[in-house]
Structure 1
Amino acid sequence: MKLITGIKVSTASPAITHLLFADDSLFFCRTTKEQCEVVLQILKKYERALGQQINFQKSSVQFGHTVDHGLREELKGVLGITNIGGMGSYLGIPESLGGAKTQIFSYVQDRLQSRASGWPARLLSIGGKEVMIKSVATAVPTFVMSCFWLPKTVTRKLTSAISKYW
């Protein structure tokens, strides 16, 4: 019914108003009282239709960096959601991608280095090292790389970590 504006990932793309996962739902709207009330109505209809209740204590809301603090508090009150999101991770990827991409995706490098440092390099043959690299090291960044372009700095560091292990 186009009651929610949604977000666009590019000027030529259609607006995205929601993303539905197995047991999670993400809604995107403008920071207005009217649009937040529409989201709340959608959630209430969901509760009535399926007989499930939304747990607002486990729910969180995230705002753009330009949204006034007073408006944030007002909209949190409208929705009945007190938790602010964006500081954690969702499906292993940081919720908020603002700032330097090299710093944001450095956790991939850290994860790979922690795994590689735990492997007994001296005890494995060349074939054993190859299997560890192909099965474990290449799997670490795969999901993130399927969603985002990693900066060259990060990919160089990943390659360097694997080379050092080899």
Structure 2
Amino acid sequence: MKTGRRFYSAMVIALALTGCATAPTHLVDARNADAAYVSGDFRSALQGYLAWPGGNDDPHVQTKIGNCAALLGQPALAEQAYQRALTLDPNLPEVRYNLAVLYLKQAQSQLIAALPQSGQLPALKPQIQTLLMQIAQTTPFTEPVPAPSTRGKLAP
């Protein structure tokens, strides 16, 4: 009977140690992604957030994925991440703002592409130029609104 208890105790300890061995790795990866994000290394941050355990179900991680993708010129991934964040939590005004800026950037690109072709419809050229000026004046395209911190999720 004592042998059975010892074996059972040893198995419980082994399982507990195995679980403890993997948890810090995830925490380190998560902290590295946040550190890369804060330092402006968006490529490394994006890789870290995409690999983040449970990140697909965290609206804040999805927001940071969207921000990194937008800054790296990956609008399809940015849009997908922002939409996922809003599906998880529809009460994130910074995500709605960033998604709107993303759409405005796409609209601006389309308008710029249409400008040389506006010779076919001369009346369209001033409208395109006016719209481009309005977009440029109202929307700074340098950086998305930062995502809420994910640091609270890292506490042991």
TM-score exceeds 0.5: no
Look at both structures and tell me which one has the larger radius of gyration over its CA atoms: 2
Higher relative contact order (CA 8 A, sep 6+): 2
More strand by share: 1
Q: TM-score, normalised by structure 1?
A: 0.29
More helix by share: 2
